[in-house]
Amino acid sequence: MKIIFGCLNHEANSFGPEHASFERWHRTNFVAVGDELLAYRDKKGAHLAGMFAAAEEEGAELIPSIYLAGAAPILTREAFEEGAGIIFDTIRANPDADGCCFCMHGAGIAEGIDDIESYLMDRMREAAGRKIPIAITCDLHANIKQAMVDRVDAGLFGMKQYPHIDKYETGYLAMKTLIRKIRGEEDPVTAFCPVPLLIPCSVANTLRFPMKAFPDHMAAYCREHGLIDITFFNGFPWADTPWTGASVVVVGHKGQDVQKAANELGNWVWEHRHETDIELNDAAAAWDKARAAADAPGTGYVLIHEASDNPGGGTPGDGTGMLREMLRRNEEKTIFGYIYDKEIVEKACAAGIGGRISGLLGGKTDRCHGDPVEIKDAVVCALSNGQGIYLSPNKVGQKCDYQRMARLRIGRAEVVVAETCANQTYDDRPFLLTGADINQYRIVLIKSATHFRSWFEGRAKAIVTANTPGNTAENFALFPYRKLTRPVYPLDLDMEFDAFHRASAERRGSSYDGK
C-alpha cells in the first residue's frame, strides 16, 4: 500500500495591506520537500510524526511531498501554486498510489481562491486521474465549509486542544482511518454543523475552564455514541469569507446519523457561546493590571501577551502598541521578547555588545500595528545567531530560527529584537538565546494569543491579555468584513440560532473562484 502524504497549511489573515509572497508565507516555518519530510518522523509535536507512526504500524509505504505551514496574509496566486505544484507533481509521479493523507489548515486563501483546501483536493484527484481516497487534518481554527466535507471520503480530523498539543494524535487518527478505508475495513462518513460564532483566540485556552469543557463534552459524546471522531472548530475570525466561524465536525461509521450528532453538538456550542466573551484591555490597562499582579504577594514574573499582533495569526510581529507603553513606563526588570526589526538588528550587530544605537524601532511593515518608536542611545546587551530548539509542548523538538538577534536596554527596560519574524513566542527561547533568564524579571511581554500557554501556564505568576491595534485584535467590530455571513455572534448580539432549523447553508458551502 502506497500513501502520498504531506502538509500544505495556510491560515489567511484577510486584513493585511498586501498579499503574501512564497517567502512571506514560509518565513514563520520551514519548507521541506521529498525525503526532507523524514526529519518529522520523531517530532512528537507534528502531525506528520503521527502519520508516520500509524503507517509504520500498518505496514504502509509513505511517499513524501511537501511540508509547508504558516500564517500569513492572503497568498499571491504564484506563492500558492509554487507549494501546491509539488503535491501535484508527486501524485503524477506515483500513479499507483492508493491514497492521500494531508495536513491542511481550513482557513487558507489565495488570490482568486477563497477555499484553497477544496481546490487542493480537486486538483489532487485531477493529478491522480481518479477519485483517489483522501483524509485530511485541519487546524482547530479552520473555517469549515460544506465543500471540504463533501470532498473527503476518509474523514476530516481536527485538533481538539488549544494550545495545539495534540497534532501527533490528529495525524495518527487520520492516517489510521485512511488505511482502514483503503483496505475496505471502514467506510467513514463525515458531517458538519456551522455555528454563527466568532471566538477570540485569547479566551479559547482548552487547558483550563471554561473552554476546557468544549473538547471534553465532544469527547464524551463521541465515546457514548461510538463515533470515530468529533472536533469543535473555533474558526479563524480574521479570514474574511462567507464560511468564517465556528463549527462541529463529526466522523462516524457508515449508517450512523452523523448529521444529527453534528447538529446536537452545534446547539450545545451555541448555548455556551457566552463562555467566549472577553474583556478587552488596551496597552495602559494591560500594564496597570500586570503591575498590580507583580506587586501582589507571591514570587515570579507577570506575563503580558499582546494577542492583537500575533504572528501565528498572520501579523508582522513588529507592532508597537505594548512596546510604546513599556518604554513610556520605563520600569526596571521588564523585558519584551521579541520585536521583529531587521534594520535595528543590523545596527546592533554593527555597534557590537556594549555599543549604543539610535533609530526607529518596530512599526515598519504596515500602519495597522502602530507607528515606529524612536529609541536613543539604546545599549546592546547581547547578540545571538537566533538558532535553537523549541521546548514548548506544541513545538517540542522542532528548530526555531530567529536569525540574528539583539537584546537592547532602552532606558530601564529591555527589548529583544529579531532579524526575522519567526512566528509567535511559544516558550522562553527568544529570551534565553540572548542570555536573559525571564525568572529574573518582574514583567515579561510577548506576542502570542494562546499557544504560549502550553509553556508559560504554571510558570508565570499571572497572565494579562493586551488588545492593542493590530490585525488579530479581538474587537471584531473594528474589521471591515465584506464577505462574512451575518448575523454572527458577537457582532449581532440579539440573533437566534437552532442547528435543526437553520437557514440554507449555501453561504457556508464553498467557492474557490475568489468572488
What does the pLDDT look like over 192-207, one tens digit per residue?
A: 999 999 999 999 999 8
Cα(165)–Cα(451) distance, rounded to whole angstroms?
A: 9
Instruction: Classify residue 500 by its DSSP letter.
Output: G
Q: Which three cell numbers stand for residue 7?
A: 502538509
pLDDT at 515 (0 to 100):
37
CA 432 from centre of chain:
24
**Cα 465 from chain centre:** 18
- The confidence score (pLDDT) of residue 510 equals 53
Sign of CA dihedral 387, 414, 443, 315: negative
Confidence (pLDDT) at 361? 98
The grid coordinates listed for 383 are 547578540
**Backbone φ, ψ for residue 47 (5° rounding):** -60, -40
- Kindly report, residue by residue over 154-176, the tens digit of the pLDDT: 999 999 999 999 999 999 999 99
Contact 88, 132 (CB under 8 A): no
The confidence score (pLDDT) of residue 512 equals 53
How many whole angstroms separate alpha carbon 394 and alpha carbon 388?
A: 15
140-149, 221-230, 365-374: the lowest-pLDDT one: 365-374
Strand residue runs (E) in 341-476: 356-361, 373-384, 387-389, 399-401, 405-410, 413-418, 443-446, 462-466
Q: Which CATH class is domain 2-277?
A: alpha beta
Contact present, 417 and 406 (Cβ < 8 Å): yes
Using CA atoms, how far apart are residues 189 and 186, in angstroms rounded to an integer?
10
- pLDDT at 504 exceeding the cut of 50: no
Q: 225: which 3 cell numbers? A: 455514541
pLDDT for 312 beyond 60:
yes
Residue ranges per domain, the chain? Answer: 2-277, 283-466
- Report the 10 Å Cβ neighbour count for 149: 22
Residue 428 cell numbers, joined: 522562553
Mean pLDDT score, 64-91: 94
Peptide bond into 64 cis (omega under 30): no
Residue 296 predicted with pLDDT over 60: yes
Average pLDDT, the chain: 94
- 506, pLDDT greater than 50: no
User: Can you spell out the DSSP letters for 333-378?
Assistant: SEEEEEEE-HHHHHHHHHH-TT-EEEEEES--S-STT---EEEEEE
